[in-house]
Amino acid sequence: MTESESVVYRVVPKCACSTIGQIMFYSDHGEFFDGDIHDSKDRMHKWAQEHSQPLLESNIQAHKSYAFTCVRNPYTRVLSSFFDKVCGIQRNGKRYRGNLVPQLIQKYGIEVGGVDGKQEFDQIASFRRFLLFVRDTIRWRRPMDPDIHWSAMSGHVSTFIANGGRYDKIFYTENFNEGMQEVLDSIETKHSVDLANIPRFNESEGHGPKRLHPVEDYFDDLSKHLVWEIYKRDFQLFKYDFENPGNKFATGEIDLDEVHAKLGD
């Protein structure tokens, strides 16, 4: 939530969350946060900051401010997680979650492009094995609990509703400017934001190897089956095209009443 309480955003990882956070920060302070917005400790309210929790709770439960979130195609989101978090070297110069990658190499036979993530490897075969791992973490919480970057978006979106929140808008990463503009038009900001000139703050960009193939090449019948098992609710609620992994755009409009009804129980 912005410090001025002008707007509340439910973060969904891998869905333009860095850019959205920076836009919110700018709308309050007329400048961007210097560094990764996820590292900020003040001038913005976050659930992870204890002093922010009572303010967030009272605001959300009384629906004092406009509330929104942003979602992304499940196929491109899980692919992005693989290249960024599993194959890539993180901001701190280390592998994501320490022993995660060695464990994946050992237990699932995944390749990640060598020590620096820059060597050639069979991206399609490795990604499909990664999907098995994702399914195992989500279905059986083995060999570890699901990670926020690849757990289903509907799970992230639902906690806000379960705790008494109600969304005014859920928009698509794929139509980012249009959706974000609608949010900005609905709130009062201290500083006006020109979306056409805002840089994209992609904290994961350049971490991992470049994707070499079209999205659809990574998903054979078995992979699609796994994706449906993991992300069925995301496809249904956010109206993405399950049949065609090559179509990143939604095929319908999000029904907010349906989202609140199905994720609020």
Closest by CA position to 7, among listed 31, 21, 16, 17? 21
Nearby residues of 56 by Cβ (< 8 Å), 6 or more positions away:
1, 8, 45, 47
For residue 159, tell me if it sits in a domain: yes
Which domain, by its residues, includes 37? Answer: 1-93+149-212+231-265
Q: Is the pLDDT of residue 8 over 90?
A: yes
The count of structural domains within the chain is 1
Residue 79's pLDDT is what? 96
Taking residues 250-262, what's their average pLDDT?
97
Question: Which has more confidence, 116 or 240?
Answer: 240
Average the pLDDT over 189-214 and give the result: 86
**At what angle are helices 176-185 and 17-29 packed, to 10 degrees?**
30
Sheet strands side by side (includes 66-71): 7-9, 66-71, 169-172
In a domain, 103, yes or no: no
Q: How many CB atoms lie within 10 A of CB 193?
A: 18
Residue 7 has pLDDT above 90, yes or no: yes
Considering the domain boundaries, does residue 133 fall inside one? no
Q: How wide is the angle at C-alpha 195 spanned by C-alphas 193 and 201, nearest 5°? A: 100
**Residue owning tokens 């333009």:** 16
Cα separation of 196 and 179, whole Å?
13
106: in domain: no
Q: Is residue 131 part of a domain?
A: no
> What average pLDDT does the segment 184-213 reach?
87
Instruction: Flag whether 73 is in a domain.
Output: yes
Instruction: Tell me if 225 is assigned to some domain.
Output: no
DSSP 34-81: SS-GGG--SSB--TTSGGGHHHHHHHHHHT-SEEEEEE--HHHHHHHH
Residues facing 68 on adjacent strands: 9, 169
Bond prior to 102 in cis (omega within 30° of 0): no
- For the cut 90, the answer to whether the pLDDT of residue 194 exceeds it is yes
Write down the pLDDT at residue 203.
Answer: 63
125-170 tens-digit pLDDT: 999 999 999 999 999 999 999 999 999 999 999 999 999 999 999 9
Q: Please report which confidence band the pLDDT of residue 205 belongs to, taking 50, 70 and 90 as the band edges.
A: low
pLDDT digits (tens, 9 = 90+) for 28-85: 999 999 998 999 999 999 999 999 999 999 999 999 999 999 999 999 999 999 999 9
Does 217 reside within a domain?
no
pLDDT of residue 204: 62
Q: Quick one: pLDDT band at residue 4, thresholds 50, 70, 90?
A: very high
Query: What would the pLDDT profile of 72-86 be if each residue is shown by its tens digit?
Result: 999 999 999 999 999
